[in-house]
């Protein structure tokens, strides 16, 4: 980062002083936190930056089963000591079909490189693709948050923990994924994640109001003699242009599509522009409207709606956020944004850890808008309380809202000037 001045702006919490950096903000001049040396070994090791042009900024994987977290590349002997089932496990992995097998998205780990098939690599005991900072020693620093250790095992990770990776390396025929914190996990215990390909619609570029998202697949009916007759099915997450007409048939509300078919609100969510424009919209601010019942989100640029999508809010729906997994309702402002952030829970029976969740926007305490790379259920409640978005949508909104993220920054915090997030039933 370029310094705006070499004079510290203050020393509260930083004995060496806070130096102002471009385009805004400050960095602690303590040498354990910062360095002017662009060739510092830690900076060189972390030179692979998040790819903000991609749906997700890193390569992601979720553990199929528990695994050691390695502080350095272990020899096969060291790995066998840490993983007593190593030989049996790898043999099962090499022979398994589907997402639990070695062939599932195997190219994900290669990052564009060519390599022998996993079985051939394992049999060859070949070592390859080892970055300079892992050759014959541990990484330049322990960034994991775990206490330092003497041996190669830094900690143990549980089933379904999620991680982001910047590269891989092969030692003695086994491939290890290198995390953003420079610790390692064996790829044979990971399921590579691509994330959902679902995305929302631009308004009015793709479609204009009124329209509906199909939350779950369901029948479309035609009207004959005042009665509904099944015509065909609407696919899950299809977008249907509506005429604006709606009608009760029995106890269920139905919407008329532009081709004169009808779909029930049990299967689809109708979207219309805001009936009453809030003051922040009239003032020209960008803001986000989240409807929990409909599981929809509409982004506004002032009074103009520009984007809409399906979301997954807290799995408790309209329950009490204080006592259940429900999303907190109200009017909030985005106060912090991170290209990626770790989220976890140590509540008994609800333990999880997901590292480097992409495109996180905190709007109230621990509640955030963020990408969910571990599921594809957008359109129905699913989260612990946050507002889950498909990766493409999370990225779209991250760079739409305020505060804006300065170039090459990983996060920004502005408590009073962030975009409004209006969460309502």
Q: Of 396 and 49, which is predicted with more confidence?
A: 396
Q: Are strands 201-202 and 190-193 parallel, antiparallel or unpaired?
A: unpaired
- Residue 185 C-beta-side C-alpha neighbours within 13 Å: 32
Q: What mean pLDDT comes out for the span 153-173?
A: 94
Q: What mean pLDDT comes out for the span 203-210?
A: 98
Query: Which pLDDT value is given to residue 349?
Result: 42
Query: Which pLDDT value is given to residue 179?
Result: 95
Please, what sign has the CA dihedral across residues 328, 382, 59, 170? Answer: positive
Query: Which pLDDT value is given to residue 46?
Result: 76
Q: What mean pLDDT comes out for the span 368-377?
A: 96
Q: What is the pLDDT of residues 277-328, one digit of tens each?
A: 999 999 999 999 999 999 999 999 999 999 999 999 999 999 999 999 999 9
Kindly report which listed range (80-94, 145-159, 313-327, 365-379) carries the lowest average pLDDT score: 145-159
Q: What mean pLDDT comes out for the span 201-219?
A: 97
Q: Of 95 and 29, which is predicted with more confidence?
A: 95
Which whole-number Å values give the CA distances from 187 to 100, 112, 119, in the listed order?
11, 16, 13
Query: Which pLDDT value is given to residue 164?
Result: 95
Query: Which pLDDT value is given to residue 414?
Result: 79
Say yes or no: do domains 210-271 and 279-424 share a fold.
no
Query: Which pLDDT value is given to residue 347?
Result: 41
Least Cα distance to 173 among 118, 105, 97, 107 occurs for: 118
Query: Which pLDDT value is given to residue 351?
Result: 42
The answer to whether residues 405 and 339 touch, using CB atoms and an 8 Å cutoff, is yes
Q: What mean pLDDT comes out for the span 322-342?
A: 96
Tokens of 326: 């429900």
Q: What mean pLDDT comes out for the span 152-170?
A: 94
Instruction: Please determine, for residue 350, whether its predicted confidence score (pLDDT) is greater than 60.
Output: no
Classified by CATH at the fold level, domain 210-271 comes out as SH3 type barrels. (2.30.30)
Query: Which pLDDT value is given to residue 362?
Result: 97
Query: Which pLDDT value is given to residue 274?
Result: 95
> Would you kindly state where each structural domain of the chain is located, as residue ranges?
1-36, 59-193, 210-271, 279-424
Q: In percent, how much of the chain has pLDDT > 90? A: 77
Query: Which pLDDT value is given to residue 31?
Result: 62
The answer to whether residues 204 and 273 touch, using CB atoms and an 8 Å cutoff, is no
Q: Does domain 279-424 have CATH number 3.40.50.300?
A: no
pLDDT band at 174 (very low <50, low <70, confident <90, very high): very high
Q: What is the pLDDT of residues 50-80, one digit of tens each?
A: 999 999 999 999 999 899 999 999 999 999 9
Tokens of 6: 């070499």
Query: Which pLDDT value is given to residue 145?
Result: 82
- Which of 32-36, 147-151, 163-167: highest mean pLDDT? 163-167
Backbone phi, psi, residue 87, to 5°: -60, -45
């Amino acid at each position: 980062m370029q310094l705006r001045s070499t004079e510290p702006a203050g020393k509260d919490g930083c004995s060496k002083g806070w130096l102002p950096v471009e385009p805004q903000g400050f960095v602690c001049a303590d040498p354990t936190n910062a360095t002017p040396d662009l060739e510092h070994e830690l900076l060189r090791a972390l030179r692979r930056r998040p790819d903000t042009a991609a749906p997700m900024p890193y390569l992601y994987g979720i553990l199929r089963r528990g695994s050691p977290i390695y502080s350095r590349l272990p020899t096969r002997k060291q790995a066998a000591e840490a993983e007593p089932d190593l030989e049996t496990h790898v043999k099962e992995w090499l022979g398994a079909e589907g997402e639990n097998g070695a062939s599932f998205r195997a190219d994900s780990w290669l990052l564009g490189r060519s390599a022998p098939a996993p079985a051939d690599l394992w049999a060859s005991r070949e070592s390859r693709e080892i970055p300079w900072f892992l050759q014959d020693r541990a990484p330049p620093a322990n960034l994991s948050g775990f206490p330092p250790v003497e041996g190669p095992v830094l900690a143990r990770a549980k089933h379904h923990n999620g991680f982001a990776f910047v590269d891989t390396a092969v030692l003695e025929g086994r491939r290890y994924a290198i995390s953003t914190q420079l610790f390692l996990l064996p790829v044979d215990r990971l399921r590579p994640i691509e994330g959902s390909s679902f995305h929302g619609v631009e308004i009015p570029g793709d479609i204009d109001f009124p329209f509906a998202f199909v939350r779950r697949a369901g029948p479309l009916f035609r009207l004959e003699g005042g009665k509904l007759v099944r015509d065909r099915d609407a696919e899950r997450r299809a977008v249907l242009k509506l005429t604006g007409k709606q009608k009760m048939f029995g106890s269920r509300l139905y919407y008329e599509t532009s081709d004169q078919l009808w779909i029930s609100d049990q299967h689809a969510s109708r979207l219309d522009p805001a009936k009453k424009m809030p003051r922040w919209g009239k003032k020209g601010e960008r803001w986000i409207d989240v409807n929990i019942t409909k599981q929809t989100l509409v982004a506004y640029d002032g009074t103009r709606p520009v984007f809409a999508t399906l979301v997954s809010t807290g799995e408790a729906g309209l329950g009490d956020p204080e006592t259940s997994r429900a999303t907190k309702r109200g009017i909030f402002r985005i106060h912090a944004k991170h290209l990626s952030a770790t989220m976890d829970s140590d509540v008994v029976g609800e333990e999880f850890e997901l590292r480097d969740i992409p495109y996180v926007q905190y709007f109230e305490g621990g509640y955030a808008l963020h990408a969910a790379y571990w599921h594809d259920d957008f359109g129905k409640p699913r989260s612990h309380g946050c507002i889950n978005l498909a990766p493409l949508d999370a990225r779209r909104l991250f760079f739409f809202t305020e505060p804006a993220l300065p170039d090459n920054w990983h996060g920004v915090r502005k408590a009073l000037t962030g975009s409004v997030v209006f969460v309502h039933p």
